[in-house]
Copies of this chain bind each other. A is one copy, B any other.
Amino acid sequence: MPDNGCLTGEFFMNGDNACAEGAISAGCRFFAGYPITPATEIAERMSRRLPVVGGTYIQMEDEIASMAAILGASWAGVKAMTSTSGPGFSLMMENIGLGIMLETPCVVVNIQRAGPSTGLPTLIGQQDIMQARWGSHGSYEIIALSPDSPQQMFDLTIKAFNLSEKYRLPVLIMSDEVVGHMSEKVVMPEIRTEDLFYREMPQKGAAGYLPYKTNGSLVPPMAIAGQGHHFHVTGLTHDERGYPVMTSRAQDQLITRLVDKIRLNADDIIMCNDYMMEGAEIVVVAYGITARIAQFAVKQAREQGIKAGCLQLVTLWPFAERRIGQLASQVKAFVVPEINRGQIVYEVERCACGRARTLLVPHSGGEVHKPAIISAAIRECHADR
């Protein structure tokens, strides 16, 4: 372990632990959470690790408080994270909205299990994908990433912190029970300063600082508490000064910027992994653990001479609209396996815009797809004329 307390080297660990280590490596020094299967291990590891690296762990009275606390910590200038699963994620929605409105960098991890309601607490689901996008009231955009392995849990947690600091909003890691609980090798490189992004800040005590005045970019510099700025921020619609302004005009200015900072930077944010995509006619669009199952099926299909490929959506939101749109003109069909009854498939279908068939392979949850089911869908599309 280097002096800074971050782990480096090769480890065999589960996704939850890898996520916690990713956070530590990303510079996260505050964690507030509430236990819930299958995300609890993240909190547990943070409770052990944070005091070692000079950070603070606190278990709050519920998920609402946890979410509020990480927003507070972020405004004290500390990178902060919480983790949960479906029921807790539902409870966090209101304050995720506050995070968006105050433009507060932080990371929220959802290790998805099967719902609705308490559902199957210890078993996998990928059913909160649309909730990640739409779960809080109001008009906004969000960033959500979806790791497929403990290694990606580590890597994408760092990425999530970077994106949250860069674009000033809560970034969601939409993992799932299998990735969270499965153990594999995780390689943790030494993290250099230039690998990490820190929010832009006004000069300490700079006069005339306005909390929401941007300087050309869509993201305003962020003051933190205790630096003499004496700033005000509010969840109400506000102007550049951070003052409430109860007009439709102020609303439009604010919301337009909040939406545009994501939409116009989509290319910077969106990550996809191509798997056997060369010349693919049938593209399996998948994410999380399902991307790996899909790759298994694609490999089999290729062996059978079917030109299949897999597009892993590493970034779920903003949606890879352009990529799907381009592919739609080139491929015959999209196969979309999800451990839900249809969520991302709606986006794929919309972006395909009738130019390629879109076939959902739904799963109600509790386990991953049998590869054969995905293979069958690939074959069905292949047989289409």
Specify which of B85, B120, B248, B355 is in contact with A365 (CB 8 Å cutoff): B248
Q: Does A138 have its Cβ within 8 Å of any Cβ on chain B?
A: yes
Q: Does A90 have its Cβ within 8 Å of any Cβ on chain B?
A: yes
How long is the Cα–Cα vector from A135 to B366 in the complex, in angstroms?
Answer: 21
Question: Which residues of B are found within 8 Å of A236, using beta-carbon distances?
Answer: 117-121
With A97-B116, A100-B117, A235-B119: A137-B87 Cβ-Cβ less than 8 Å = yes
Question: In the complex, how many residues of chain A place their beta carbon closer than 8 angstroms to a beta carbon of chain B?
Answer: 69
Say how far A385's CB is from chain B's closest CB, in angstroms.
19
Question: Which residues of B are found within 8 Å of A121, using beta-carbon distances?
Answer: 236
Which A residues from 133 to 182 make CB contacts under 8 A with B? Answer: 133-140
How long is the Cα–Cα vector from A114 to B249 in the complex, in angstroms?
Answer: 12
Say how far A13's CB is from chain B's closest CB, in angstroms.
26
How long is the Cα–Cα vector from A364 to B236 in the complex, in angstroms?
Answer: 14
Say how far A114's CB is from chain B's closest CB, in angstroms.
6
**Structural contact, A138 and B116, CB atoms closer than 8 A:** yes
**Structural contact, B94 and A87, CB atoms closer than 8 A:** yes
Determine the main DSSP class of A at the interface with B: mixed
Specify which of B101, B128, B234, B366 is in contact with A137 (CB 8 Å cutoff): B128
How long is the Cα–Cα vector from A119 to B123 in the complex, in angstroms?
Answer: 37
How long is the Cα–Cα vector from A248 to B123 in the complex, in angstroms?
Answer: 8
How long is the Cα–Cα vector from A254 to B98 in the complex, in angstroms?
Answer: 35
How long is the Cα–Cα vector from A373 to B33 in the complex, in angstroms?
Answer: 46
With A255-B341, A364-B252: A119-B101 Cβ-Cβ less than 8 Å = yes
Which A residues from 224 to 260 make CB contacts under 8 A with B? Answer: 234-237, 246-252, 254-256, 258-259
**Structural contact, B135 and A133, CB atoms closer than 8 A:** no
**Structural contact, A139 and B115, CB atoms closer than 8 A:** yes
With A248-B367, A353-B354, A366-B247: A97-B115 Cβ-Cβ less than 8 Å = yes
**Structural contact, B134 and A130, CB atoms closer than 8 A:** yes
Question: Which residues of B are found within 8 Å of A131, using beta-carbon distances?
Answer: 134-137
Q: Which 4 A-B pairs have the closest CB atoms?
A: A115-B138, A248-B366, A116-B138, A86-B137
Interface of A with B (CB < 8 Å)? 64, 85-87, 89-91, 93-94, 97-98, 100-102, 112, 114-123, 125, 127-128, 130-131, 133-140, 234-237, 246-252, 254-256, 258-259, 340-341, 343, 346-347, 349-350, 353-355, 363-367
